[in-house]
Every structure is written in C-alpha cells, then in structure tokens.
A and B are shown apart, each in its own frame.
Chain A
Amino acid sequence: MDATYSGSHKMSGNRACAEGGLAVGCRFLAYYPIQPCFEVVQHFSERCIDVEGTFIQMEDEISALAAVLGASWSGMKAMTVTSGPGFSLMMEHVGLGVMLETPCVIVEVQRSGPSEGYPTGSGSGDVMQSRWGSHGDYEVIVLSPNCPQEMFDMTVRAFNLSERFRSPVILLADKAVGSMEEVVMIPKSEEMSIKKRKRFSGPKEKYHPYEYDKDLVPWMVKVGQGYRFHVTGLTHDEKGYPVMSEQCQEWNVHRVIGKITLFSDEIIDYEEGHTEDAEILVVCYGSVSRAAVRAVRQVRKEGVKAGFFRLKTLWPFPERRMLELAEQVDTILVPEMNYGQLFLEVDRCSRGKAEVEFVHQEFSQVRSGASIIKAIKKVSVKA
C-alpha cells in the first residue's frame, strides 16, 4: 500500500490522524501505551511496514518525545501520540523542542482528568496545559479538530506548520473526535501541499544553528552532514553555544516567541457562521463545536440571532477577530468540556465589550446540544 491512502474511506479520527502523518511524510513515531489515543499508533505501526518507517515503544512519554526530537534532528518528520497523563510527562520536552527549535508533532487525544481521571471519557481539560504546560516563556501552535476529516487535514497542517516555524505543534484532539467514524477524503499525494524545513546548504564553516532571516526562523541541517553543530537547551547565542547573560536570554527567547506571534496570521484558522447580524455568539472548538454549530442553526430557525465562531487553532488565539466580534454581539457563550479554560481567554480578549458566559458540557450529554440551546435561549430572553 502507498504512503498516501488516497480516496474516500470510512475511518475513525484516530486512524485518519495516522494516515495524515503517513501522507505528509512522517516516518518516525515514538510512543508509550495510553488510551484513548492508542488507535493512532496501532494503525501507524501496521502501515509503517509499507513505507519503511520506524516506530518504537519507549519506556515512558518523556523518552518518547525525546526520541522524536532526536529523530527530527536526524532529518525525519517525527511525531508522538499521547493522552492525559502522558501529555503531562511530555511537558519537559515541549520546552526542549521550543528551545532547540525542533520541528515535531505531538498528537494529544484528550481524556478527562486530573491524574488518571476517566481514561475512556472525553474532555478538553488540557487546553491551558497545551499552551502553558512547560516552564518558562514560549509560544506554541495548537490545532483543534472536530471530525475525522479534520484529524487528517490538521495532522498534515501540523507537520507543515512545524516545518515552517521549526517548532513543536500540538494537535489537541479529544476522545470523541478520535473514536468517531466518518468518511475521510484523502487526496492524491501529488495534490497535497507539503512544506519542508528551511535547509542550510552553504559552506560548513559558515553555519550557525541560530542565525536567522526575516521570518525569524533559523536554517536547519541534519545530523551527519558534516556541519558539526552544537545545540543546547540552555540560553544560547547564534552559534548554539550557551551564554548566561540577560542580554542573550532576551535575544534568544524574544525571537523564539516572535517567530510565532509576529506571523500568527499564517497560523490562525477559524470558521464563522451567522456572525453578520449575530447578537449571541457561541465560541466553540473540538467535539463540542459539532453540537454548538447544530444548536446555533436550530435556534436561528426559531428566530434567535445567534452565530458561532469555531476555532480550528486554539493557540495562537485569534485575539483581533475575537475583539471585533465582542464589539458586535451582546453575549458570548463558551461551551467547553471542562470547567472553563478557553473561556478565560475569550473573556480576556473581549475586553468587557460583551457579556461572556461559560457553559459546562458533560461528555455524556454533549451530543444532543440541548444544554447549549438552553443557554442561548436563556440569554436571548434576557436580552
């Protein structure tokens, strides 16, 4: 079987994710067994044999992401897959990936926490962790799919973004999206847009691992090409050598943050519906957004001026558009399968221009969308 399994197939979100990785050229996967994400790995390991890929079960999630970073420096597109507690263990190497500026993809199929929590239940409790989980100041790219098709598309996009920005990219799915089966259209390999990292091919003595260009992204080389580079997780200068000074800290971290914040328009992606004349806005993402979009369409039929703002990228957050919408609408509802995480960011970015309310969603009841409809109606009566 080819690396790209073109055509339309009925498959689960998790399988679509594995296919997305294979189609975009991921040939290395390190993981540690955990649920509910494991189907991704299972599918990848079966398909691996077709594409001369490598998969390895490491001793824990810490080492799984470490191996992914190592393989990425060897020139491979590499990913790891995890859920809940495993994601907590990976945080150390999210930081290393950011500091070494290593392209890689971390797929997290969220379950309910904290701790072991409810391993077979869905949740969105890791939204803030995905943004702030590792210590120190950094920016990270987080994508949020809401269907198997997006599990495929966004895995491809996650790799493209990680190669473009030389940064770890997190695909923050949830159990519901991972397990649901739908038709997934996989394009032909020649129709796919695949980005590659910026390679350095100049003279060996001229290479500095962190010398950068207008896009603030440094050129990368592979292990074994003879550039004999050094890179470190310590604060470093353009040669990759550690320098312990405030000045270097500023030079180093400012750029690593800036390469994402200054180019966030290339990353941010969202979908809007009925927002032109909306008075009530539902901000949603992930599996909850399926119910939220349906709820908005339902209440529209009943004459309620509601709209939805579905986030495909959670981080960087679409601050500008959020403020514009907040200025336009009266109330913003944020249904989430947690106890209020992205709600905080929506509230912050609305700057008091609209009333922002959190709507807690329980996994077992999320599909009906009943609680979202109820919340919209409650607000519309008030207005």
Chain B
Amino acid sequence: MEALEAMKRTEADDPNKHPMDNVLRMDRIPHIWCPGCGIGMVVTAFASALEQMQIDLDDVCVVSGIGCTGRVAGYVKTDSFHTTHGRALPFATGVKLGNPRMKVVVISGDGDIVSIGGNHFIHAARRNIDVTVICVNNFIYAMTGGQVAPTTPQPAYTTTSPFGNFEAPANIPRLAESAGAVYVSRWTSLHMRRMTQSIIEAMAKPGFSLVEVISPCAMYYSRTNKLGLGIDMIRFYHENAVIKHGEPTENLDIGFQKQIIVGKFVDRERPTFSESYEGWKKIIKTGKRES
C-alpha cells in the first residue's frame, strides 16, 4: 500500500520521475540490454508484481547468476546479489536459510539455471527451498557471443552451431516438475499481464516455484536465424503461443518456430525444506523419534 501511494505521489510530484522509481535503481539506468531484448519486460513484470503484492521491498532479496539476465539483480532496488555463473540458487539457499523472513527470488537465464546451474536447480527443487525462480529463456548464450544453449531448438543456427543445432533442447517445466517444484508456469515476454500474475502467485506460494519466460534475443538468436527484429519475435509469440493451463509438462518441448505452449502447469502442495527441518528438529528435541 505504502509503495503504491509513494508511486502515485512521485508521479504527481515530478513528471520526470518514472513510475517504477521505487523498485528500480534509477541511478543505474540506462541498462545494458540491447534494443529488442525481452529481459526489460520481465523486469517490468517483476516490478509491477512487487507493487501489486504491496510487499515491503525490505523483505525481498533478488539473487542472479551471470549472463544478460544475471544483470537484473543490479537494477532492482532490493537487497540484491550478482553471484557466480550458475550458482545463484545455492547462494539464495544460504540467504533464505540464514533469514527465513526474506522473499528470495532468483532471476537468471536459461544457460545459468539449466546448464551450469542444472544440478543446483534439481536439488533446490527437490529440497523444496522456498525461493521463486524466474528463468528467462532466450534459447541462446547471448552475453558471450551467441553460442548454442541447452535450450536452443533443433535445428536453429547459433555462432557455435553454424550448420544448425542437432542436440535435443531441455524442457525446463518438465525438469522442474520432476525434480519437485510446487509451482511451474511458462509465459512469453508478450504475456505481460499473465506473467505478472504468475510471478505474484509463485512468490506467494511456499516452496520452490518456477516461472519460465520465453524471451527474444534480437541481437543473436533472431539475427542468426533471420527472424527479424525483437518486435517480429513478439509478433511470432502473439501468433504461435497457445495458453493451455494444466498441460502435462512432457508436451512442452519447444521446436524451431513452432507452437509454444504457455500457461500454469503445476500447482501443488509439498512441505518446504525449512518446514521439514524445523519439524524434524522439534521431534528430535522432544525425544519423540523412534530409534
């Protein structure tokens, strides 16, 4: 509430101020993302989710890994960490266990979370650590020069698959579900309203939640594959994204310029790591455990 009022106040007071001044580090703008990139929309969705939730920003902590999306932590005005490549989740695990009051959000890219951080992703989901992961999937390693990613569809071109990618891409929602995530959804950066809503639901849900956002990389992915500008990718999402809530996650593979199924796929209950751990400690302390 406070945040909303403050937002209105700043808007009314100074027309030069951005309505998201409260959530973003305006002293760091302009950001580093290329024209046509979709990460900015994810940040906008995240910022408006925080505002709509009327959550105290002092209680939010954003942890990022490395890469284009890894830079998000540096633009959000909360306690924020820009860590090592792939290790945002274990770092976030430490923060959350150290201060269970915090709402910890990991925002990072597909390479960071599914490739180098794949093991951490599986185990954070298995333990059901109470964090929300927003995984921006642009099908490519962009910051390092457009290399093939574990999410690159077959047979897309990248700088390291000059004759087309022949590897099978990862299905992130399926991985999350099988590892034990309690909330899994996927949107594209076109679905601003639904993505925002999904981030709110994911953050409110105790346990490990994942919001995957398919997002255009206009500089590498679409240019190498001759798919036009960022806006053309958004147009493609508009024509080819199909909302199917509850779709079994095995059907969520993404083909090259094929239909993209979006929606909320998993929403279930499971005790979180901290709940189990605290419960376990209580049982041991009271000596009720049968040996």
Contact = CB atoms under 8 A, between A and B. Distances in A.
A92 B66 CA distance: 13
A200 interface: no
Given A66-B84, A70-B91, A224-B102, A54 B97 contact: yes
B277 A230 contact: no
Interface residues of A, number: 43
Nearest to B116: A62
Contacts of A54: 97-98, 277
B22 to A, nearest CB: 10
Contact of A233 (B28, B57, B83, B92): B83
Contact of A230 (B57, B82, B87, B285): B82
Where chain A touches its partner, the secondary structure class is mixed
Contacts of A74: 94-95, 97-99, 102
B284 interface: yes
Interface in B249-291: 277, 281, 284-285
Contacts of B101: 224
Contacts of A67: 90-91, 93-94, 97
A192 interface: no
Interface stretch (B9-17, B37-45, B73-81): B73-81
B178 interface: no
Interface in B99-114: 99, 101-102
A71 B123 contact: no
Where chain B touches its partner, the secondary structure class is helix
B90 A223 contact: no
A58 interface: yes
A65 to B, nearest CB: 8
B119 interface: yes
Given A28-B97, A67-B91, A67-B93, A230 B80 contact: yes
Interface residues of B, number: 39
Interface string A239-264: 00110000000000000000000000
Interface of B: 25, 28, 57-59, 61, 63, 73-74, 77-84, 87, 89-99, 101-102, 119-120, 122-123, 277, 281, 284-285
Interface of A: 28, 30, 49, 54, 56, 58-60, 62-64, 66-76, 78, 92-93, 95-96, 100, 222-234, 241-242
28 contacts: A49-B281, A59-B119, A63-B123, A66-B91, A66-B94, A70-B63, A70-B95, A70-B97, A70-B98, A71-B94, A71-B95, A75-B99, A78-B98, A95-B84, A100-B81, A223-B79, A223-B102, A224-B58, A227-B79, A229-B80, A230-B25, A230-B74, A230-B80, A230-B81, A230-B82, A231-B80, A232-B74, A241-B28
